[in-house]
Structure 1
Amino acid sequence: MMAETKELEILKEPLFILENGDVYTNPTEVKMSQLILPCHANHRGELSAGQLLKWMDTTACLSAERHASCPCVTASVDDIDFEHTLSIGQVVNIKAKVNRAFNTSMEVGIMITCEDPLSGMQWKVCNAFATFVAKATGLGKVQLKPVIPRTSEEQMEYSIAAERRRMRLHHLETIKDLVSSSTIQDQLNTEESQRAVPAGKTRVESIELVLPPHANHQSNTFGGQIMAWMESVATIAASRFCKGYPVLRTIDMFHFRGPSQVGDRINLKAIVNNAFKKSFEVGVCAEAYHQEAWDKKTHINSAFMTFFALDKDGELCTFPLIKPEPGDGERRYREASARKKIRLDRKYIISCKQTEVPLSVPWDPSNQVYLSYNNVSALKMLATKQNWVLNCTQNKAKLFTLEEGQFLSFKVEMTVSVNVKQVFMLLSDMSRRHEWDSHYQKFELIQKVDEDDVIYHVISPSVTKGSNFQDFVLLASRRVPCADGDPYLIALRSVSLPAAPPTEDLVRSEVLCAGFTLWQEEDTRTRIAYYIQATPGILPYITRDITGLSADLCKVVEACNKFLEQNKDTVSVFL
């Protein structure tokens, strides 16, 4: 959480008008508005993060149940980054809607804004994504109906939800890989080592009895209540470490491992895992047990919360080192460092605007999942844009342009008489692209990351006579549809890799976002859309076609069509 709002802005929602003239409202959308009262606030007059989590979980659960038409329980909540604090007298506005439904689970997007009733100004507090699971009321198994996106925003969230789901499944693997390759560093100097705080001094343990007011309409302990209790004990551990008033900044993913019921005792434990100069991580877990079987505890949840603190001048405090406890303490210490690295990767690869970071983010195994996510989601977001302008038609291809601020993007569409699966396999094999695209001389395989992600070194002839050839290091990510109606997708973006450093004889260029979406129209017909966002290295190749100075695009489209037709019966392998 930030100590104070730096800039307030009114949030306006674009209207989507239906054919009958009515204003469209998402059928799963649920809104909650709460006036922050003293009973909701902490000693500083700011809204308790635990109370906010309870409101968020309630709103999201109601949205999930509106779509599922049956009881739903919280399975997990993705990382939350609180951008601002909220004060007594302000209004919290929470909006939740189902982004996508899978078999028995669904992703619910949550938007939290704050409102000043006196000025009418509103500003964003945070976004969150929660996964809910539908519970059958009888013997049958729940099969959720699909979500039908209507607006461009809904189409984007629907499309990217599948990629977020993929990223969640890889999260624990990434943590394990980072921890297995890490070691606890020696303390930097004697003075810092002497000031290190034993982690044991921050340990907090508390117990809560689950009463009827804490239960939901299914008699299980309300997920938001569990999260609120966890935030409370984590804050106590944080205050013991910083000897002040800690402010919660981020929460790593909540993952519910099991339910608890009225009458259960919830045992809560928290401890500071690691400190990072201006912030520190607190780990907290919740276990449930019955009074008659106190020795049979069930681990129901774990979470990791990052805090900071402000001094009397409003500046960030600097914290001493943490001395981890032997055994599990050292493991938690290393895992905290791994989670910090992941947060940085997520911030600079996923969360920030593309103009704020280098295009070619260094690739390594620990950020593989996030680079792949960024690669695919960027293409999906570009594909869902609505304001494409038809620029010209050449033979069987249509060339569209899209101008948004400083970004210029291009889309080429054509239809081929080849089965979509075969088109996908042929276009996925980048080593053959030079056979039909004269803009590329060679795609050389550098590293096969996994079955769906590959890194290539690409060499392209220069568009200007006498100039050096250009080269790119590209991450190619392909995705098959995860549901009927989804396209096949091949995404490309630049990365940097020590195995392919820039050289003097080639001009290193970058690709911001590019790739193919493939839609099956009939058994033997495929609609192909190729997208690319212009960068200085790419721009000259495209603008010549737009302005009529070149017919290269027409030739490339014809060559691609011919390549696919000639190879529609061959077996192609993605490398």
Structure 2
Amino acid sequence: MASEARDPLLLEEPMLILENGEVYRNPTEIKMSQIVLPCHANHCGELSVGQLLKWMDSTACLAAERHTGCSCITASVDDIHFETTIGVGQVVNIKAKVNRAFTSSMEVGILVSCEDLFSDRQWKVCHAFATFVARRTEAGKNSDPTGFLQIHLKQVIPRTQAEQMEYSLAAERRRMRLIHAEIINDLLNSCSSQTESECLDYQDAVSAERTRVESVELVLPPHANHQVSTFGGQIMAWMENVATIAASRLCNAHPTLRTIDMFHFRGPSHIGDRLVLKAIVNNAFKKSMEVGVCAEAYQGGEPLRHINTAFMTFEVLDNDRKPRSLPRIRPEPVDGKRRYQEAIARKKIRLDRKYIISCKQSEVPLSVPWDPSNQVYLSYNNVSALKILAARTNWALTSEKNKVRLYTLEENQMLCFKVETHVAMAAEHVFLLLSDLKRRKEWDHHYQECEVIAEAHEDDTIYRVVTPSVTKGGNVQDFILLASKRHPCDSGDPYLIALRSVTLPTYPPTEDYNRGEVLCAGFSIWEEESSFTKISYYNQATPGVLPYISTDIAGLSSSFYRTFASCSTFLEENKASLASLPTSALGENSGTALAIELCCLVNLKTISCSWILCLFFSTNWACF
């Protein structure tokens, strides 16, 4: 049942009045409203997910084309989780806007809500992120072999706090898409031999071959755009159809689609193509099953072209709308076993994401357990939380001394503070010095000891930090911190160093130390002018941190001002030691990511923009 209260994501932002007196509206925003008719519904009287995907794709494409002024095609769609179903007679409201444009691709945010016209209730159905590529049909030296002209996209200019937040987070989501294949491979490599033996022990299991489905669709003019390319939403709808049939063959019931892990378009299809759609149940868990779907195209006697691959998770609901138990699956040899194990890896990703990212602070401890399989999501959450905190606009200036400013923010019963100062040196040099936490004790008296516990990744390091006692005669505190650093995605982004607490079994709390926790902290480093940098330090105060800064906020101490004056001195004194370092060595990560994107998008027939994670961002994220 839908809640009577409106979802926070559905609430309109406060109006922004422009200088000319007009109310601001995002120039790329597109809204679509559709009433669900019986022709849109399935046998249960609920809106077909395939129809919903077509509407979502059309709305997002219109937003992308409004930004670019030319035709756009769907490159990928991030994970989608459907929270509720939609019945006949209800209204589907879809809102899409471009969050950020990169070199030749752009991210479009899509929010789907349901409206009951009789009770005036609205609730969220799903939230998704799609990647679109702009193409103009002009032959010339800049066009690819398909005759499409490569377009360098204009940048999105965020105007509101929400737009700034999504603009900043889009860069982090893009980073996750680019490394998705690595995540899957790492998880598959760590699969134990026990997993393989388990799939052979089920005596009462249903053969996976029983669930196999193959269907063919002919692409006709109504299925394509004005450039005769098949609509991405139409392909999604056909894939959802065969996946539902495969799921039904396992459970002998009508399944409900809950999650789509991936829509990864590898190339286009056109009017006259025959689309071969194949689906099979990869694995059945206790109360859910994963169905793998692929779409391939051909014309005449040409070989099959791989168009799309997706993974969909279904449930079967009982009369109380609760998931019921499912029969086990027996995979076929070779490819069946591979698909079986990959489904387990993808489920692990979903569980990690749900635990680390989707939960609110009240549902999980501040310190999340760290292990190699979830380090990517912890890093993502770490940086995203800092970006969300930095995007807040209602910071209040508490005091200023010696060009060091202290700001506070009270929101959702949480106290956050920001310390801001400037230094006359290049931003990349500041980033290099501050990202090494072992050197922080040279300028911050709160860091008595700092040791590296693990180098989780080139951008992620786990430290153990010891700080002095808060009370006289009390135990000193220690923290286990994950430090995640990011280079700018482009020239308009800051360098970031994000900090949060994690839990390691090898470093449990001890009697000699009070274990403190950091919820969200870190540095945002902006180069405002050549060799002149603004440094902002953020901290979402937790019980372990608040005593150190409460007197500063109350105006009874100048401890933090002295600390950041020492920080400026430390940076100035070490500037000479970094002068010989080439700038390219400091920014190589962002350049690599850009090169990957260009390689992914240079040819329309070989588009391979991998992606992951449809994350439902709201203001509650600042509390995680």
State the percentage of identical aligned residues. 66
1:400 is aligned, of 396, 407, 413, to 407
2:355 is aligned, of 338, 348, 359, to 348
Between stretches 74-83 and 354-363, larger displacement belongs to 354-363
In structure 1, the partner of 2:266 is 257
In structure 1, the partner of 2:214 is 205
Matches within 5 A, 1:74-85: 74-85=74-85
Matches within 5 A, 1:378-393: 378-393=385-400
Q: Distance in 2 between matches of 1:64 and 1:508?
A: 48
Q: Distance in 1 between matches of 2:425 and 2:447?
A: 23
Q: CA deviation at 1:326?
A: 0.7
Question: Counterpart of 1:258 in 2: which secondary structure?
Answer: coil
Q: CA deviation at 1:5?
A: 2.6
Q: Distance in 1 between matches of 2:361 and 2:400?
A: 30
Question: Counterpart of 1:330 in 2: which secondary structure?
Answer: helix
Q: CA deviation at 1:8?
A: 4.8
In structure 1, the partner of 2:189 is 180
Q: Deviations over 1:322-379 (max 9, x none)?
A: 1111111111111111111101111121122233212221222221211111011100
Answer whether contact 1:184 1:334 (CA < 8 A) is retained. Answer: no
Larger RCO: 1 or 2 (CA < 8 Å, sep 6+)? 2
Answer whether contact 1:178 1:338 (CA < 8 A) is retained. Answer: yes
Q: Distance in 1 between matches of 2:389 and 2:555?
A: 25
Q: TM-score, normalised by structure 1?
A: 0.96
**1:49 partnered with 2:56:** no
Q: CA deviation at 1:188?
A: 7.2
User: In structure 2, do the counterparts of structure 1 residues 189 and 342 end up closer, same or farther at CA, with 3 Å as the change threshold?
Assistant: closer
Structure 2, unpaired ranges of 5+: 143-149, 587-624
Q: CA deviation at 1:189?
A: 12
In structure 1, the partner of 2:622 is none
Matches within 5 A, 1:300-339: 300-339=307-346
Q: Deviations over 1:469-515 (max 9, x none)?
A: 11111111111111122111111111122342322211111110000
In structure 2, the partner of 1:563 is 570
In structure 1, the partner of 2:608 is none
Q: Distance in 1 between matches of 2:39 and 2:346?
A: 33
Matches within 5 A, 1:545-556: 545-556=552-563
**1:24 partnered with 2:24:** yes
Matches within 5 A, 1:525-536: 525-536=532-543
| 2:89 partner amino acid | G
Question: Counterpart of 1:229 in 2: which secondary structure?
Answer: helix
1:514 is aligned, of 490, 504, 521, to 521
Between stretches 446-455 and 371-380, larger displacement belongs to 446-455
Question: Counterpart of 1:449 in 2: which secondary structure?
Answer: strand
| 1:185 partner amino acid | T
Q: Distance in 2 between matches of 1:527 and 1:314?
A: 53
Answer whether contact 2:112 2:124 (CA < 8 A) is retained. Answer: yes
| 1:28 partner amino acid | T
Question: Counterpart of 2:462 in 1: which secondary structure?
Answer: strand
Question: Counterpart of 1:64 in 2: which secondary structure?
Answer: helix
1:152 is aligned, of 149, 158, 161, to 161
In structure 2, the partner of 1:216 is 225
In structure 2, the partner of 1:458 is 465
2:284 is aligned, of 260, 275, 290, to 275
Question: Counterpart of 2:340 in 1: which secondary structure?
Answer: helix
Q: Distance in 2 between matches of 1:184 and 1:235?
A: 30
Q: CA deviation at 1:266?
A: 0.6
Q: Distance in 2 between matches of 1:547 and 1:289?
A: 71
Aligned length: 568
Q: CA deviation at 1:136?
A: 3.0
| 1:225 partner amino acid | Q
Structure 1, unpaired ranges of 5+: none
Q: Distance in 2 between matches of 1:216 and 1:368?
A: 41
Q: CA deviation at 1:118?
A: 1.7
Q: Which runs of 4+ in 1 moved over 6 A?
A: 186-190
Q: Distance in 1 between matches of 2:136 and 2:506?
A: 52
Q: Distance in 2 between matches of 1:35 and 1:508?
A: 54
| 1:12 partner amino acid | L
In structure 2, the partner of 1:94 is 94
**1:239 partnered with 2:248:** yes
Question: Counterpart of 1:148 in 2: which secondary structure?
Answer: coil
In structure 2, the partner of 1:437 is 444
Q: Deviations over 1:52-103 (max 9, x none)?
A: 0000001111111111112111110000000110011111111110000001
Q: Deviations over 1:126-156 (max 9, x none)?
A: 1000001111322333100011000000000
Between stretches 544-553 and 251-260, larger displacement belongs to 544-553
Q: Distance in 1 between matches of 2:493 and 2:506?
A: 35
In structure 1, the partner of 2:607 is none
Q: CA deviation at 1:7?
A: 4.5
User: In structure 2, do the counterparts of structure 1 residues 189 and 237 end up closer, same or farther at CA, with 3 Å as the change threshold?
Assistant: closer
| 1:208 partner amino acid | E
Between stretches 92-101 and 490-499, larger displacement belongs to 490-499
Q: TM-score, normalised by structure 2?
A: 0.88
Q: Distance in 1 between matches of 2:339 and 2:4?
A: 37
In structure 2, the partner of 1:167 is 176
In structure 2, the partner of 1:66 is 66
Between stretches 18-27 and 281-290, larger displacement belongs to 18-27
Q: Distance in 2 between matches of 1:312 and 1:473?
A: 47
